[in-house]
């Protein structure tokens, strides 16, 4: 695989894009995350007989980034419109954001892009 691959999961819809460099791929990730955050409006699920899931516990969209050199990570958009960056593919590890850092900046810092 050459270049970078961005996969966007928005509910049941999945789209894939390819980019030649990291700057273009990260710009696409930022664009897709902003669109998912704008449209996030999950309601609480469950309740009386089953466990209740609040919007902040629900992932309504995911933008994944894959690249050369085992670059793997992405950003999850929650039902309340918040976002969290992670690294890895099968075993996701949450990326801790520093003061005034966006999820994209935290992902960029962690992946070294």
pLDDT of 102 reads 92
Count H helices and E strands in the chain, helices first: 2, 6
Q: Count how many residues are written for the chain.
A: 113
Give the chain's residues under pLDDT 70. 1
d(CA 29, CA 23): 10
Shortest CA distance to 28 belongs to which of 67, 86, 1?
Answer: 67
pLDDT of 8 reads 96
User: CA neighbours within 13 Å on the CB side: how many for 30?
Assistant: 12
d(CA 42, CA 54): 8
- pTM here is 0.85
pLDDT of 44 reads 77
pLDDT of 41 reads 73
Domain boundaries, the chain: 4-111
CA distances in angstroms from 12 to 64, 76, 100, 111, listed in the order given = 15, 15, 32, 28
pLDDT of 85 reads 94
């Amino acid at each position: 695989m050459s270049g970078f691959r961005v996969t966007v999961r928005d509910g049941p819809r999945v789209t894939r894009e390819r980019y030649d460099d990291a700057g273009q791929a990260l710009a696409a990730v930022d664009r897709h995350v902003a669109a998912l955050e704008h449209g996030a409006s999950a309601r609480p699920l469950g309740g009386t007989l089953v466990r209740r899931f609040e919007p902040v516990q629900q992932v309504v969209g995911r933008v994944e980034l894959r690249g050369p050199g085992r670059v793997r990570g992405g950003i999850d958009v929650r039902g309340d419109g918040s976002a969290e960056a992670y690294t890895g593919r099968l075993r996701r590890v949450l990326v801790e954001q520093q003061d005034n850092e966006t999820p994209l900046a935290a992902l960029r810092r962690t992946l070294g892009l």
